[in-house]
Amino acid sequence: MLPTSHTLANAKPNRLYELGHGTIVTCLAERGVIATPCGHDDASTPTKGPFFCFARRHRCDLLIAGDKVAGSAQRRTREAVLQHGSVIIERRFDQQPAAELAPLGIDAALLRERLPILLSDALKAEITPGAWTDPELHSAESLREKYKGQGWTRRK
């Protein structure tokens, strides 16, 4: 999240996508995995287009061999810009079209270690990787448990 006073919060909206996804491209390239921006929009939306968001395409989404591996979205308010997204490490559903990183030797631990460093370099910001507080770690673990299973997914 960036405050609206940050230079990038006032840049063209796709600039944050480009920077964020560029760090993922760099991280994967360090491990010999080539990901490229999609380069085009398919004009689909959650109500007009494929059910799975990883079947829809935005020009800044990242693809591996034609399959989407990363995508994100923005929420802009008067106070801040929140950029959030997903990277597919392993698919939970066979019918979900997406690339997977686990079979390519990329795991969550690597992404947690490298992405904050690469992103702070891209944003020219100072961060302290791994400086999560105990309450933050506890909250993250409880959310992971809540959302990881089919029970949550199927209740919708």
pLDDT at 51: 78
pLDDT at 62: 94
Q: Is residue 62 part of a domain?
A: yes
Average pLDDT over the chain reads 84
Q: Is residue 144 part of a domain?
A: no
Q: How many other CB atoms sit within 10 Å of the CB of residue 82?
A: 12
Q: Is residue 116 part of a domain?
A: yes
Q: Is the dihedral of CA 57, 62, 66, 69 positive or negative?
A: negative
pLDDT tens-digit readout, 9-35? 888 878 888 888 999 999 999 999 999
Q: Is residue 137 part of a domain?
A: no
Instruction: Write the DSSP symbol of residue 134.
Output: H
Q: Is residue 120 part of a domain?
A: yes
Indicate if the pLDDT at residue 104 is higher than 60: yes
Q: How far apart are CA 81 and CA 68, in angstroms?
A: 24
Average pLDDT over residues 5-12: 82
Host domain of residue 23: 2-131
Number of structural domains in the chain? 1
Q: In the chain, what percentage of residues exceed pLDDT 90?
A: 20
Q: How far apart are CA 110 and CA 93, in angstroms?
A: 23
Q: Is residue 68 part of a domain?
A: yes
Q: How far apart are CA 156 and CA 151, in angstroms?
A: 9
Q: Is residue 18 part of a domain?
A: yes
Give the predicted TM-score (pTM) of the model.
0.76
pLDDT tens-digit readout, 27-62? 999 999 999 999 988 888 778 888 778 888 888 999
pLDDT at 152: 73
Q: Is residue 148 part of a domain?
A: no
Report the CATH number that the domain containing residue 24 is assigned in CATH.
3.30.930.10
- Determine the Cα angle at 37 with ends 36 and 41, to 5°: 145
Q: What are phi and psi of 82, to 5 degrees?
A: -110, 120
